[in-house]
A and B are shown apart, each in its own frame.
Chain A
Amino acid sequence: MKRYWVIGLVLIVLLALPLMAACGEEETETTTTAAVTETTAGATETTAGATETTAGGETPTTVGGPVTLYLGGTFALTGAYAEDCAAVLAGFEDYTKWVNENHILAPWYTDRTIPGNITFELLWGDDALAPDKTVTIYEDLKSKGLLVERISGTPQTMALKDLLIEDQIGATCQTAAPAALLPPGNIFLKNPILTDSLAGAADWFLESWADTSRKPRVALLTADSALGRNLDIPEMYAYLEEIGYEYVGAQFVPQPATAPPTTQLSWLKENNVDLTLGAAVNPTTQPTIKEAVRLGMGPDQPYKITFCFGEPGHLQIMVPDMGAMANGTVVSGDMCAWEDKVDGVAFANMLQDTYRPNNRNTNIMYLDGIVEAMTQVEALRLASLETNPAALTSVDVLQKGFWQIKDFNTGGICANNLTYGEGDPQGIEMVRIQQVQDGKIVDLGSRPIKRNILPAAK
């Protein structure tokens, strides 16, 4: 019987531990909050002062001991988005090397210099699309001193969103998940969210709709994944009906498609659909388009239908893989094409010539990596103008860095200059529409995005 008393006692002690810890933690918590509030108050003043100095074109004067600042975050290097994330990572790597060698933000930002004592280092981990791995890597990188973060996909966005707000860390991201804006947090977008992006494509299609006798019929043809199901919300259907479409229904293609999606395509044919909208990546779209061509469906085929997918950089893989078979496929996104004559692409080519002359990364998401890395460096740079770089905290980087990024030129990679602020993590205002014509990617111009298609808060 004595043993039970002992076990009971041990249990009581164990139960008491969390309570004790809780009390202890709470006290410290309150003190830290107070401290943070003070610093913020102080910071606002300094910001005002600093804006003037920057306007004067003065270079930062802080020259202290060598400081290493980290950038990076989690990448989904395994899974459906592997190739995209690998390219983003390559962009991050090359940009980091370049910044450390040249100490300016970008070739077109010669006035924005990085103090010589600051070295940037890239920290990253492969989250393999798993939210739990993401959180572990996030904690790991945070403990190593990463003051910023980056995110790759929808589940990861959802897993990290609250943590980022709690820890006051700003993040760049590759995802275009509407969830990132629900409500706006610290995840700074440079892509239009998928719903808005495809709404832009729907606008574009409607402009060219000549048949006045009937409304165009639209359906979702989207990947059966978290990415693809982002679109499947009543608000999206309502928007499409509102601008003058007849919404028919949704079809989901497995990701990857282990069989040609004949079923889904036949359904579209049965229902006389004119335009399909979808969020999908190559493992889904390539078999889909291939089968559509075989069934005689497409803008240039006997059965007239336009397939539109909202995933930036999609066509850059699809076109080399499929050639003329991909003709007519439309993509709405934000990234420019490799062929575009803009500063950003020239910069990317220069980076590739310098750092990977023998194994060039042809994936368009390489540009995404450059933009994200640049945004992180700019946030760190802006923050270190205000605070001693050696003593930077993530709160500084968020408030004096990310929130102060205004009219940020990405060298034409994004459709417009990025502007962020408190409570406004959506930096993009335009969506680019691209189409494959004769085996080449053609820019069909940009459309303003509608910042309102979000699922109702649950």
Chain B
Amino acid sequence: MRLPSGTYAQNYGQDIAMVRTRSHWIFLAVLMVFVFTIPQWASNATLALATIIGITIISAHGLNILTGNCGMVSLGHSGFMMVGGYTLAILCRSAGLPFWVALPVAGLVAGIVGIIFGLPSLRIKGFYLIMATVAAYFIIHWLVLQFRSLTGGTEGMPVPAPDLFGLSIRDKTIYYYVVMVLVVLATVVAKNILRTRAGRAFVAIRDNDLAAEVMGVNLFSYRLQAFFIGCVFAGIAGGLSVQYYSFANVEQFPFFDSVWLLGMLIIGGMGSVSGVIYGVVAIKLLQQLAVKIGPSLAELVNPQAAVGLSLILPSVAIILFLIFAPQGISHMWERFRNYYQAWPY
């Protein structure tokens, strides 16, 4: 981490601390206060948007570890979310498990499915791996539809309102807090995973897999670990999403969502934990903008303008970022910070 001049680490605790300076603490505190007071002042619609952004952030953290750090592009992330979502739905509904037990299990199951579809990464990488993950999405989608007695097929399945220590969390405000606490946890965990031995191995594999292997990084094992971790995040996000709508349906996890997740990483900055948050917020707000201005374009163009725009606006943003700022918002922010920290030099 780049620190302002004059800040020294005097012991190990300071050296590894994620939040170091006073301005860090102030930023964090302001952000937390903002995030956790949204239900107090925002409308229901804003709250719904914020909850969905939170769920997406958790999912994007997983993809960031897999794609941003380990360099394996996945277009099947939406499929792994589906696995998590349906696992939670089945456990809560058919097995009657409480939500807070089912959610980690959903993550685990998604992680294991991720390992299975990550197995080809033993032999292939790059574009071939992308195609394997595309296949993973469609195969999962098909399996969910086939095991109809378990999943409800295309009709989907309703999920009972969860209990959290005796309190019903059907209420959207409480659910928002639950999601946000998990977002904070997921962010801390994602940040820390990257600072472990595994995290460093991921980056080494991404930068040069041959060199990493020569240095003794077990490619196969670490690739599968990356798949596992990434998909656990996806599974938990999928579970949260299903619980939010109290309903599981395959159309909740469309193929294009994986594309948007990748786009979020590009806009936020591949490999950066804070970038994930910037990217998710940016794309979700762009889509929201399209939904807002769409109806006013309905007279001018056609009633479908909103959806057309909600595809075009984020896509154009991704294209612009790819061309002009391939390292994303987090890099732009860093440059700005370095500039003002060094100001007037």
Nearest B-chain residue to A125, judged by Cβ: B291
Residues B303 and A86 in contact, CB atoms below 8 Å apart: yes
- Does B200 make an interface contact (CB < 8 A)? no
Q: How far is the CB of B22 from chain A (nearest CB, A)?
A: 13
- Does B155 make an interface contact (CB < 8 A)? yes
- Does B254 make an interface contact (CB < 8 A)? yes
Residues A77 and B48 in contact, CB atoms below 8 Å apart: no
- Does A82 make an interface contact (CB < 8 A)? yes
With a cutoff of 8 Å between Cβ atoms, the chain B residues found around residue A154 in the complex are 154-155
Q: How far is the CA of A63 from the CA of B154 in the complex (A)?
A: 49
- Does A55 make an interface contact (CB < 8 A)? no
Q: How far is the CB of B109 from chain A (nearest CB, A)?
A: 20
Known: A10-B32, A225-B154, A229-B153. A15 touches B181 (CB 8 A): yes
Known: A25-B174, A159-B249. A458 touches B48 (CB 8 A): no
Residues A136 and B49 in contact, CB atoms below 8 Å apart: yes
With a cutoff of 8 Å between Cβ atoms, the chain A residues found around residue B333 in the complex are none
- Does B158 make an interface contact (CB < 8 A)? yes
Complex interface residues of chain A between 79 and 115 (CB less than 8 A to chain B): 82, 86, 89
With a cutoff of 8 Å between Cβ atoms, the chain B residues found around residue A132 in the complex are 52, 241, 245, 252
Question: Which interface residue of A10, A159, A166 has the most chain B CB atoms within 10 A?
Answer: A159
Contact pick for A230, options B17, B155, B291, B306, CB 8 Å? B155
Q: How far is the CA of A7 from the CA of B184 in the complex (A)?
A: 11
Residues A159 and B155 in contact, CB atoms below 8 Å apart: no
With a cutoff of 8 Å between Cβ atoms, the chain A residues found around residue B249 in the complex are 131, 155, 158-159, 226
Complex interface residues of chain B between 49 and 87 (CB less than 8 A to chain A): 49, 52
Among the 9-residue stretches B122-130, B164-172, B207-215, B222-230, the one with 4 or more Cβ atoms under 8 Å from chain A is: B164-172
Question: Do most interface residues of chain B lie in helix, strand or loop, or is the interface mixed?
Answer: helix
Q: How far is the CB of A362 from chain B (nearest CB, A)?
A: 16
Known: A17-B177, A22-B167, A229-B153. A143 touches B252 (CB 8 A): no
Contact pick for A77, options B155, B184, B247, B304, CB 8 Å? B304
With a cutoff of 8 Å between Cβ atoms, the chain A residues found around residue B184 in the complex are 11, 14
Among the 9-residue stretches B36-44, B113-121, B275-283, B318-326, the one with 4 or more Cβ atoms under 8 Å from chain A is: B36-44
Known: A14-B36, A19-B167, A77-B304. A125 touches B158 (CB 8 A): no
- Does A124 make an interface contact (CB < 8 A)? yes
Contact pick for A1, options B13, B32, B246, CB 8 Å? B13
With a cutoff of 8 Å between Cβ atoms, the chain B residues found around residue A125 in the complex are 291, 295, 306
- Does B45 make an interface contact (CB < 8 A)? yes
- Does A215 make an interface contact (CB < 8 A)? no
Complex interface residues of chain A between 128 and 165 (CB less than 8 A to chain B): 128-133, 135-137, 139-140, 142-143, 154-155, 158-159, 161-162
Q: How far is the CA of A354 from the CA of B236 in the complex (A)?
A: 53
With a cutoff of 8 Å between Cβ atoms, the chain B residues found around residue A17 in the complex are 36, 177
Residues A131 and B303 in contact, CB atoms below 8 Å apart: no
Known: A77-B303, A143-B45. A131 touches B177 (CB 8 A): no
With a cutoff of 8 Å between Cβ atoms, the chain B residues found around residue A26 in the complex are 167
The 9 closest A-B pairs by CB, nearest first: A18-B177, A140-B45, A78-B307, A226-B154, A229-B154, A139-B48, A22-B167, A77-B304, A143-B43
Q: A139-B44, A140-B44, A161-B158 given. 6 additional CB < 8 A pairs?
A: A7-B188, A78-B308, A131-B249, A158-B155, A159-B247, A458-B152
